[in-house]
Structure 1
């Protein structure tokens, strides 16, 4: 042992253990990511977006990661700099000078986090306002969440007769939807529906849950309502989810850009069978979409499922979907 209290021999086993731990970490990280390819890396774990709106969410996600990486490099760099250049001397054992206050540093680590949070808040609010902006959609679908599956009301003029039902009349099943949304329903929207049963599987794919059909390249408005508790409507490749709340109507719009079958699920713990609240989203051509609606009508699935809980008119129309 050194007369100054330094003993270098225990450090070598420690360095060896550290090297072994780092090697094991690298092996574990690479072994668990075998299915991940370099072309997926820019998305940083996000699935491939399949709507016109999803790239905006992906961009926000990537920007957040970039900001976190810059912050992390700065913090890690300062930590390593302190460890390397301010480590204990091997020849001196006295206590180093103690600094009790440093106003510039204290101001810095107060102001910098505020700036970071403010920038993230700005971009989040900007993108959220764009994502929740409503236009004139080509199609309107009322998504009904219930324990423990999903129902889809296609508010469409399936038979092509604009005179039925009576113009301006809102079906009693949709009476809980605010007037500002029902006014945008297409003329003659008698509608068809699809209702899921927990445990059912799609005969085409074998996936559990009902299947929601969407037309490629056409804007769809989703009106979300719940008949019991809070759910959350999440189509994974949309990179977007929104709560389905009893007594409150949430609305958003998307334009699918890629045909295929995609997975959807409830993202809000809603009871004992929450994990079974799965569904499928099948994006098809507009022609196939219309053919599917006629197929539902031929099966007798005309009209609508009850959408949400009953409310008084002031409560129903007091909701807002704007920031």
Structure 2
């Protein structure tokens, strides 16, 4: 066997070993718990929307990885198969046009973009659509500098209007401070309608484990519709819109509890509703 063939064989073996190493690493990574949820800060079953977003996220990355591997493989094949051989001179034969290949290169990206758009649009419609004509729990969530008010409105699992008025968190670094944060209670396996509003400036209601957030805009009501999971848990939330000096302390908790504990908590809250009369933005609640 000539030295040229031996060198080519060694290069091909090197490429094959590198490819196997990469594939093995990807397979090993795919076995981890984090990889199963796409390295997102949540897990399956937190809310139905979180599962929808997670499936779209993982599916998009899998499609991108498959396309990337095919593209990289073709590039490596071209580099190796059409490399300049020893003692070769001049340019290789040039091809100006190849109509079928160019049509293929146009059709494939269009199909990929349309497919990704279709899946994304369907997921967005599922997330933003109301879950039912009447939610089991409807909560008015008011963002304010720098805390949260929660009005649990009568209907479904809530026998009468009750409210919770939150105070600004003071992060001293001591243990147990998280327990003093404003806490939104929700029952398990229940459809929820969060009506998001603001008393002053733009805030943003964000629970990382839910994989979605909505802005609270003065004079406007945004909604988050979802169904809670079957597991009782506490999730950390925060304002995700820079809203002033103590934005970093505008924290809250979401506690998903059993229906019995939820009803008990409703009985412990103050009756009535804290409405727009407590808004601080002078440009709100005015008519021309």
Shorter-chain TM-score above 0.5: yes
Is the CA contact (8 Å cut-off) linking 1:200 and 1:210 kept in structure 2?
A: no
> How far 1:271 moved relative to its partner?
4.3
> How far 1:240 moved relative to its partner?
2.2
Is the CA contact (8 Å cut-off) linking 1:243 and 1:250 kept in structure 2?
A: yes
> How far 1:221 moved relative to its partner?
0.9
Is the CA contact (8 Å cut-off) linking 2:157 and 2:263 kept in structure 1?
A: no
Q: Which residue of 1 aligns with 2:38?
A: 44
Which one of 125, 129, 133 corresponds to residue 121 of structure 2? 125
TM-score when scaled to structure 1? 0.67
Is the CA contact (8 Å cut-off) linking 1:230 and 1:268 kept in structure 2?
A: yes
Is the CA contact (8 Å cut-off) linking 1:200 and 1:209 kept in structure 2?
A: no
- Following TM superposition, the consecutive aligned residue runs of length 4 or more in structure 1 with deviations greater than 6 angstroms are 185-188
Which one of 156, 166, 173 corresponds to residue 154 of structure 2? 156
The alpha-carbon distance between structure 1 residues 289 and 66, as it changes in their structure 2 partners (threshold 3 A), is: same
> How far 1:259 moved relative to its partner?
0.6
> How far 1:141 moved relative to its partner?
0.6
Is the CA contact (8 Å cut-off) linking 1:57 and 1:239 kept in structure 2?
A: yes
**Structure 2: unaligned runs, 5 residues or longer:** 1-6
> How far 1:200 moved relative to its partner?
5.6
1:126-173 CA-to-partner distances (Å, cap 9, x unmatched) read 12212222111111111112333322222237xxxxxxxxxxxxxxxx
Is the CA contact (8 Å cut-off) linking 2:239 and 2:247 kept in structure 1?
A: yes
SS in 1 for 2:201: coil
Is the CA contact (8 Å cut-off) linking 1:221 and 1:253 kept in structure 2?
A: yes
Q: Which residue of 2 aligns with 1:196?
A: 167
Is the CA contact (8 Å cut-off) linking 1:143 and 1:151 kept in structure 2?
A: yes
TM-score when scaled to structure 2? 0.74
Q: Which residue of 2 aligns with 1:303?
A: 273
Which one of 90, 115, 140 corresponds to residue 86 of structure 2? 90
Over the residues paired in the alignment, what is the CA RMSD in angstroms?
3.6
The alpha-carbon distance between structure 1 residues 186 and 66, as it changes in their structure 2 partners (threshold 3 A), is: closer
Distance 1:253 1:273 in 2: 28
Is 1:259 aligned with 2:232? yes
**Structure 1: unaligned runs, 5 residues or longer:** 1-7, 158-184, 315-323
